[in-house]
Amino acid sequence: MLKNKKIGFIGGGNMAEAIIKGMLSSSLIKASNVFVSEPSKSRQTFLTSEYKIKVVKDNLDLVKKADVLIVAVKPQIINEVLIGIADQMDAKKLVISVAAGVPVSKIEEALSSGKKKKLSVVRTMPNTPAVVQEGVTAISPGKGVSKPDLKIAHEIFQAVGRTVEVPEAQIDAVTGLSGSGPAYIFMIIEALSDAGVKMGLSRDVATELTVQTVLGSAMLVRETGTSPGELKNRVTSPGGTTIAGLHALEKGSLRATLMNAVEKATLRSKELAD
């Protein structure tokens, strides 16, 4: 569905680049159909040389050219950016936001400029593994989004990983789990690598063992469809090493600590949105 569409990015930062790279590498769209509005000259030069896409002079020029508009700017400036392009917006254009904490209603309000407009707005919550095309993106469509537009949103973000569709009321929970989740996993990887060094392994070996163990374990859950609890039980022999390690994790409240982390991040996401 994207083949003949023109995609415009307001903001050419890391997430925008990840999406551009994913779409082009999967041949979803031609580079000639991708446009970016980005204030940094060095960033403009990099994006055009690396991906052969087109940089436009400003946001209004971008909106005129694009069928699908991906708003990839900081939440602090999104309202100003949207108000600036409101006069060019209509129901034919699909607007996709990757700005954390900004609800569909606020986006629609800014793009309407006090006028009644039918708008197609999709809110998304991608995460940083999208940079290596292994992200997961939660998608929440506004009321004016058609089924074809929703399919386009999924296609775009499936180029950088996997997608799930959730009601907008659940986006804060998504933020607390998968949005902030990479940081939790990085900390776990760091801690396991430190433990390997403590037990006498070199840093390189400890890190390689840790990274591949985390990656392989995640793939095992995904590819087999077996619950993590069942897979854990299969590794755990009576009186063996794994149950001893699991006992230590339970004593340290690892399970409760991770659940608390997701809860705290979710609540913070709601606070920021308010």
- Would residue 174 count as lying in a domain? no
- Would residue 172 count as lying in a domain? no
Q: What would the DSSP string read from start to end of 158-214?
A: HTTEEEEE--GGGHHHHIIIIITHHHHHHHHHHHHHHHHHHTT--HHHHHHHHHHHH
112 and 138 co-located in one domain = yes
**Do residues 101 and 75 touch, judged by C-beta distance below 8 A?**
yes
- Total tally of structural domains belonging to the chain: 2
**Where residue 183 sits, what CATH number does that domain have?**
1.10.3730.10
Q: Is 88 helix (H, G, I), strand (E, B) or coil?
A: helix
> What is the pTM for the complete model shown?
0.92
Q: Rounded CA gap, 205 and 149, in Å?
A: 47
157 and 24 co-located in one domain = yes
**Burial level of 44, CB count in 10 A (0-12/13-18/19+)?**
middle
What is the predicted pLDDT for the residue at 253? 98
- Would residue 104 count as lying in a domain? yes
Q: Which domain holds residue 222?
A: 179-273
Q: What are the pLDDT tens digits along the chain (274 aa)?
A: 787 899 999 999 999 999 999 999 999 999 999 999 999 999 999 999 999 999 998 999 999 999 999 999 999 999 999 999 998 888 889 999 999 899 999 999 999 876 777 899 999 999 999 999 999 999 999 999 999 999 999 999 999 999 999 999 999 999 999 999 999 999 999 999 999 999 999 999 999 999 999 999 999 999 999 999 999 999 999 999 999 999 999 999 999 999 999 999 999 999 888 7
What is the predicted pLDDT for the residue at 114? 67
163 and 185 co-located in one domain = no
Q: Rounded CA gap, 49 and 171, in Å?
A: 35
Question: Of 142, 167, 192, which residue sits at a domain end?
Answer: 167
Question: Of 167, 188, 209, which residue sits at a domain end?
Answer: 167
**Do residues 71 and 84 touch, judged by C-beta distance below 8 A?**
no
105 and 188 co-located in one domain = no
What is the predicted pLDDT for the residue at 118? 86
Question: Of 116, 132, 167, which residue sits at a domain end?
Answer: 167
- Residue 46 makes CB contacts below 8 A (sequence gap 6+) with none
